[in-house]
Structure 1
Amino acid sequence: MTVRVLTTSFDDLAPRTAYEVWRLRQQVFVVEQDCPYPDLDGRDLEPATRHVVLVEDDVVIGTLRVLDDGGWARIGRVVVAPVARGRGLAARLMDEAMAVCSDREVRLDAQTGLTGFYAGYGFEVTGPEFDEDGIMHVPMVRSAPT
């Protein structure tokens, strides 16, 4: 089975793929992690947003989005399907996201237990732990190269 990586804007996402992206985010964030929150926040539609999507056998098995927040990029909504975990796919997502971000400063809010994973990409904790929808997070930044 070959995993394909798609990096695209919202307007270039195939309708079925877009549906599967939001279904996966709902399945993991809302149902599995029991965090009812407004996933469809309008940021997916922004022209500068890039969606990184992992597809295997025509099924979305992972996704994240890269937002343009002015002077920096923001990575968020990082998710791998339960059936696809343990295969290094989060790293595939992050490798592509970092390529999209290039030499820009990058920010994200990491679930506290994943700070080591993101540290491997050069991110550092920049503030105190906070509760987001019942799950503890920390702000992290990867500074732009000087």
Structure 2
Amino acid sequence: MNLFIKKFHELSLEELYDILALRSEIFVVEQNCIYEDCDGKDKFAYHLYYKEKDEILAYSRILDKGISYGEISIGRVVVNKNHRRKGLAEKMMKKAIEFVEKDLRESSIRLSAQVYAKGLYESVGFKEVSEEYLEDNIPHIEMLYQR
């Protein structure tokens, strides 16, 4: 299993297709949620993902300050359904935080978490900072990480 962190223009067409297919499989089909995944932000993101052979196992995107929030943000956190419950999401989040702190030299990260995944984000240092709200008919909360 290899970790990759790439800007949009560094992704191959095949990588981009596989990332979008995984996001669609989970966020649109599995969660039965119709929403606009291609929101224009991918072009400005760092794409962090684990890949084994030709399969994307887990993925998240990191956005600079001012794109979604006043802080750096992490979003589209997803693990391939065949690779869940193996600690991969926590490992990926720790790598994302490390990248933000070391490479981007930032100490605050904000995200919008699906409520059911709150425990994952708390396990890596995020704190709940909002009331629960609906986004695409799914309960969410804003969470903040501060070193």
State the TM-score, normalized to the length of structure 1: 0.91
Name the residue aligned to 2:129: 126
SS at match of 2:27: helix
Give the secondary-structure state (helix, strand or coil) at the position aligned to 1:117: helix
> What does 1:86-105 align with in structure 2 at a 5 Å threshold?
86-102=85-101, 103-105=106-108
Aligned-partner Cα distance in 2 for 1:100–1:79: 18
Instruction: Give the alignment's Cα RMSD to 1 decimal.
Output: 1.1
1:55 aligns with 2:51: yes
- Structure 1 counterpart of 2:112: 109
Letter in 2 for 1:82: K
Provide structure 2 residue ranges, at least 5 long, that are not aligned to the other structure.
none
| Superposition map of 1:1-146 within 5 A | 3-46=1-44, 49-70=45-66, 71-102=70-101, 103-143=106-146, 145=147
- Count of residue pairs the alignment pairs up: 140
Moved more, 118-127 or 19-28: 118-127
Tell me if structure 1 keeps the 8 A contact 2:109–2:145.
Answer: yes
Segments of structure 1 that go 5 or more residues without pairing to the other structure are none
Cα distance in 1 for residues equivalent to 2:90 and 2:127 = 17
| Runs of 4+ residues over 2 Å off in structure 1 | none
Identity of aligned residues (%): 36
Cα distance in 2 for residues equivalent to 1:87 and 1:123: 20
Q: TM-score, normalised by structure 2?
A: 0.90
Contact 2:5 2:46 in 1 (8 A): yes
